[in-house]
Amino acid sequence: MKLEKSIELYTKGKQHLVGAVNSPVRAFKSVGGVPIFIDRAKGSKIIDVDGNEYVDMVLSYGPMILGHRNAVVEKTIKKYLKNGYTFGASTKGEIILAKIVCDAFPGMDKVRFVNSGTEAVLSAIRLARAFTGKNKIIKFSGCYHGHSDALLVAAGSGLATLSLPGSAGVPDEAVKNTLIAEYNNIDSVEAHLAKHKDIAAVIIEPIAGNMGVVLPTKEFIEELRDLTKASGVLLIMDEVMTGFRSKFGGAQELLGIEADITCLGKVIGGGFPVGAYGARNEIMEMVAPLGPMYQAGTLSGNPIAMACGIATLKELKKQDKYKDFEKTAAFLEREMKAAAKENGIDLQVNRFGSMINPFFTKEKVVDFKSAQSCDTKKFKTFFWKMMENGVFLPPSQFEAWFLATAMSKRDIYKVRAAIKVAMKAVAKKHK
């Protein structure tokens, strides 16, 4: 595995980029070595600047659900590029994508497009406060909702990867209205609701994808919905990661609940910067120009991003690969567990739809605390052996792997072969 050109670019990049990256997890801090610089991608494969080819299980952290450069999507993008890139005015594509999204989420009458998941979430929080007239919010330890100040506490993912408890530059005043509960622990939510009467909303990832892949118990998620309704508190589902990844719609529907406000991103942009938040009319009509809650964005509803999103979702619905995702994820789970057992390695595997993640721990992973019991040194060894054997993984124990419809049986068997080699390497190095 040659990395000379990545090393060269990393050295050059440090001069004018912070750590030679534009997002911290890309820095490979938790797995060592230097960041891999990507040159191109097609279908299920991604190729770095040194010519190393990998089966891509990062998929830009979720958006590339059809794989890279899907022919239908690419043709659509090229068509719309000829019309111009951005207008600062409304386009037909915004209306088309809005209908597709709203139709896929029961209880969502209107949606507002923004430019990122972070922007969607901070807007949803503002909307919840405007609608309820209350200030406090409850979030869960290990759930990541973007890097806005009020939510950058106990945030899992990149912060866990870098072993940072929060972020410098976030004043106490910014998080004074943020209450932290424990994922899968309804008592921790009830305690906050009993103590505070000015809670506007509870925000949660329906499947926590930023501490690995952590699923809610049926009792917890249903009790959370009942409790918020009874307390007059809005439930915000952050489906930036899970939206359209387990079904054509949201994970919340599979869990048997309905959020008051839903946040989206990633897949709905098909690879372009897009976020969205949506809710029933009563709530969304608080947003300007219909109501007093102001939120705006010059590039919101960008015509190219809308075209890519429309093409991606239409093609995704046409392909309807969700049963295949389930079979593939189950297969990979069996293979990882078998390889770990054969080599005497403690391993847990969590999965949901097209998301999967192995945890190097003997403890069942149900929340952020149990996720942190993982042996990250073993993951580091596993990660590099997978890379050396042609599988591109997120460089963090606390990030989900993703599946794409473009992945073939040959790709899956290559991942299986890499897993067997990597598990042997882990056993040999960490006796």
Q: Catalytic residue numbers?
A: 144, 238, 266
SS3 105: coil
Q: Closest by alpha carbon to 286, among 127, 119, 121? A: 127
Rg (CA), the chain: 21
Asked if residue 156 lies in contact with residue 148, where contact means CB atoms within 8 angstroms, the answer is: no
Q: Closest by alpha carbon to 381, among 324, 429, 323? A: 429
Rounded distance between C-alpha atoms, residue 98 and residue 96, angstroms: 5
SS3 140: strand
SS3 199: strand
Identity of the residue numbered 248: F
Pair of tokens at residue 379: 């993951």
Please, what is the end-to-end C-alpha distance for the chain in angstroms?
A: 25
Sign of CA dihedral 59, 65, 67, 68: negative
β-sheet bridge partners, residue 278: 111, 262
β-sheet bridge partners, residue 401: 356
Rounded distance between C-alpha atoms, residue 289 and residue 402, angstroms: 38
Pairing mode, if any, of strands 275-279 and 178-181?
unpaired
Rounded distance between C-alpha atoms, residue 419 and residue 323, angstroms: 23
φ, ψ of residue 234 in degrees (nearest 5): -75, 145
Rounded distance between C-alpha atoms, residue 58 and residue 42, angstroms: 14
Q: String of b and e for 369-400 (b: at least 16 CB within 10 Å)? A: ebbbebbbebbbbbbbbbbebbbbbbbbbbbb
Rounded distance between C-alpha atoms, residue 202 and residue 178, angstroms: 10
Pair of tokens at residue 412: 């899956």
> Within 10 Å of residue 27's Cβ, how many Cβ atoms?
20
Pairing mode, if any, of strands 53-56 and 391-392?
parallel
Pair of tokens at residue 9: 């670019």
